[in-house]
Amino acid sequence: MSNGPSHAAGADFAPITPARLQWQDHIPVATDFDDPYFSRHDGRAESVYVFLDGNQLERRFAALADGDRFVIGETGFGTGLNMLLAAQRFLALAPAGAGLELWSVEKHPLARDDLARALAHWPDLGEPAHALLDQYPPASPGYHRLRLADNITLTLMLGDAETLWRQCPANVDAWFLDGFAPARNPDMWRLGLFSALAAHSRPGATLATFTAAGFVRRGLIDAGFAVQRRDGFGGKRHMLAGQFGQQPWQPARARRGHAVVAGAGLAGATTARALAERGWRVTVLDPAGVAAGASGNRAGVVYSTPSAHLTEQNRFYQLSYVHALRWLHRHRFPGPDQGRLNGVPQHFVDDKQADKIRAARDSGAWPETLLKPLGEHAMELVGGGYLSPPAWCRQLLDHPAIELRTAAVSDFQPAADGLPVRVRLSDHEAIQADALILATAGAARDLAGLAWLPLKTIRGQVSYCRPTTASAAWQQAQCHGGYLTPPLEGLHCVGATFDLHHLDPAPRDSDDDANLAQLRQHLPQEWQELGGDAIEVVERRVAMRCQSLDFLPLVGALPDATANPHTALPGLYLNIAHGSRGITGTPLCADLLADLLSERAPPADRALIAALAPERFILRKRKKQPDWSPVCS
């Protein structure tokens, strides 16, 4: 519940320090603040009285219609009791077609075992509580999107409350101002935080808090809230409730429609699935079928690159990794014979890499629940693994709202004056849609007006090797200078080359030799168990990866590159340039894009959203930053 300002010098994001607590008569008490996480008298009853009744949620939930959205914001997550009670009440009262979006901040999160022990007080909280425990994120900074029910999401923001609410993309209908008592933790009851909450309040948004401290009431009034004292719960004399602005409150509506997704690889399949789950009808176009390009390798590794420096790039690598694991877990993938999520050892290839990964571990930015030592020469990415990308794409596209067609986009016209996007196909047919999402990697540059995209093409060849008796028993994928997987569909994957200069799609014996030489150099025991000099390469596959010049994907609205880059071409979006990280990065990017199209708040801070936005390259060039001339052929 403690969410005072971060003292990291100039940093909006800093490593997370988990909560320190003691248990007193089955009540968790914060050691640093000497305050319980919920009322010793009746924590559930107090939460209902103060936060749910104080925001009139029962009446407001019951009045929602199909397609309405309701957003609750909270300043201290604690045990999650307030949010879980709101979710429970929403499921009982709101129509199934309405959506509840919960946003909460916690600077010092409980360990999962402590959270489970606390929530065991209320076993009737049901499926939302089970879902929270099942998806509870590691103590890594930033925004973590969990799904508590089909129509309820929780975005748990780990870090300083004021910082993360200022960066948050959500606009809120009801506020839970919770936390340790102002006398014990005054830093999280500051005017700066109240101003941030006001900036994220929809007209008529309500608030409620257990405290009636005078400086809290005055600070809320100064921020623009009309606040009244009410009778408090139990032995407390007063609490506060209020409203933002003078306008009557009305719920927001989720946007739905028909989307065309060009590309049936990892980017296209995740985007299509995210849209379909938000109520969109989706047409997926790909002339070569599912996972025919770089997503078509027999096996791929779910991994990331740990760093101690929480730049937007490194935060994307971390957050997309844990987000991808939640997607895979929710979809129960991989199944039998599709791979395993049992950890990925990263073997150090040199002192520079070893120092970087050890620094990530020592900084606290990567907690041991994500990154743990594995002897002196390796670390393990906890929860990662290997899987079949084509099987993953096929499973994602298996949804009644998704139609797959064997065709390509040859041209398009942006939406204008209320008219839909017009998409012309390679067979000369035209489709009208509310949105067109290009998930075609480097091929996006072949469309008229998109030659400016700052992409580079990287040729990669993977070698498929026959198992031996020894190698058939391997259980984990392993990363070194390349990667090695256990047998999948009867063959090991050894890869992959990285060639920016020779883009010939024909396989080469020399590339197989390079893959095996790298394996021998970094994993000599595995090289020997696979057969040593007698390793048998049965098949090989060449694919072209597409990468941007700053190593982040391009995700968001397609900008008008010829006029104003701040102006998007209506109805047109990109989800490209995932490089060799497609399995890991695409689920977060898909959710981000689907939320933008649905007029919902995406699960990322504004700085990270801007770091992925396609217009960033145009803006950099116009500021005379280093040239980003495209090298994609």
Q: Which DSSP string corresponds to 229-286? A: EEE-STT--EEEEEEESSSPP--EE----EEEEE--SHHHHHHHHHHHHTT-EEEEE-
Q: Per-residue b/e over 161-198, b at no fewer than 16 CB within 10 Å?
A: bbbbbbbbbbbbbbbbbbbbbbeebebbbbebbbbbbb
Q: In the prediction, which pLDDT does 27 show?
A: 86
Rg (C-alpha) for the chain, rounded Å, is 26
Q: Is 434 helix (H, G, I), strand (E, B) or coil?
A: coil
Cα separation, 554 vs 525, whole angstroms: 39
Query: CB–CB of 225/244 below 8 Å?
Result: yes
Nearest to 432 by CA among 263, 283, 265, 254: 283
Rounded to the nearest angstrom, the gap between the alpha carbon of residue 621 and the centroid of all alpha carbons in its chain is 28
Decide if 166 contacts 198 (C-beta within 8 A): no
The residues facing 312 across adjacent strands are none
Query: Are the C-beta atoms of residues 484 and 507 closer than 8 Å to each other?
Result: no
Structure tokens at 21: 């607590």
Beta bridge partners, 284, equal 261, 404
Segments of the chain assigned to CATH 3.40.50.150: 41-252
The β-bridge partners of 328 are: none
For residue 451, give both structure tokens.
Answer: 């030659």
Q: Quote the pLDDT of residue 183.
A: 74
Contacts of 155 (CB under 8 A, 6+ apart): 101, 102, 103, 104, 143, 144, 145, 146, 170, 601, 603
pLDDT at position 623: 66
Question: CATH 3.50.50.60 in the chain, residues?
Answer: 258-263+392-454+549-622
Q: Are 477 and 483 in contact (CB under 8 A)?
A: yes
The burial class, CB within 10 Å (0-12 / 13-18 / 19+), for 384 is buried
Tell the residue number behind the tokens 């009440």, with chain if given: 89
Return the DSSP state at 78.
Answer: T
Query: Nearest CA to 372 among 387, 389, 390, 384?
Result: 384
Q: Which residues, 6 or more positions from 75, have their beta carbon under 8 angstroms from its beta carbon?
A: 3, 104, 105, 161, 165, 175, 176, 177, 178, 179, 188, 193, 197
Q: Quick check: 261 and 284 in contact, CB under 8 A?
A: yes
Q: Which two tokens stand for residue 514?
A: 């390079």
* Structural tokens at position 567: 């102006």
The secondary structure of 322-360 as a DSSP string is: HHHHHHHHHTT-S-TTSEE-S-EEEE--SHHHHHHHHHH
Contacts of 261 (CB under 8 A, 6+ apart): 268, 271, 272, 275, 282, 283, 284, 285, 437, 439
CATH for 41-252 (3.40.190.10, 1.20.810.10, 3.40.50.150, 3.30.505.10): 3.40.50.150
* Residues 47, 77 contacting (CB under 8 angstroms): no
**Nearest Cα residue to 598 out of 278, 152, 301:** 278
Selection from 622, 389, 605, 616 nearest residue 496 by Cα = 389
As given in the structure block, the two tokens for residue 623 are 């500021």
- Sequence-distant (6+) residues with CB within 8 A of 497 are 459, 460, 461, 511, 514, 515
Q: What stretch of H or E contains 500?
A: none
| Cα dihedral sign, 180-181-184-185 | positive
Q: Structure tokens of 576?
A: 């490209």
At residue 362, what are phi and psi to the nearest 5 degrees?
Answer: -70, -25
Q: How high is the pLDDT of residue 243?
A: 97
Angle at 39 between CA 37 and CA 41, to 5 degrees: 150
User: In terms of residues, how long is the chain?
Assistant: 633
Cα dihedral angle (547, 553, 558, 560), rounded to 10 degrees? -60
Q: Which residues of the chain have pLDDT under 50?
A: 2, 4-10, 624-633
Q: What is the per-residue pLDDT for 184? A: 78
In this structure, are strands 430-433 and 421-425 parallel, antiparallel, or unpaired?
A: antiparallel
Local structure of residue 55 (DSSP, 8 states) = T
| Dihedral (CA of 156, 159, 163, 167) sign | negative
Q: Rounded to an integer, what distance in angstroms lies between the CA atom of residue 105 and that of residue 162? A: 9
Q: What is the dotted CATH code of the domain comprising 461-548?
A: 3.30.9.10
CATH 3.30.9.10 in the chain is located at 461-548
DSSP string computed for 399-425: STTEEEES--EEEEE--BTTBPEEEEE
**Six-digit token string for 12:** 């909006």
The tokens describing 286, both together, are 């790909």
Domain 258-263+392-454+549-622 class in CATH:
alpha beta
CA 358, CA 335: separation in Å to the nearest integer?
Answer: 33
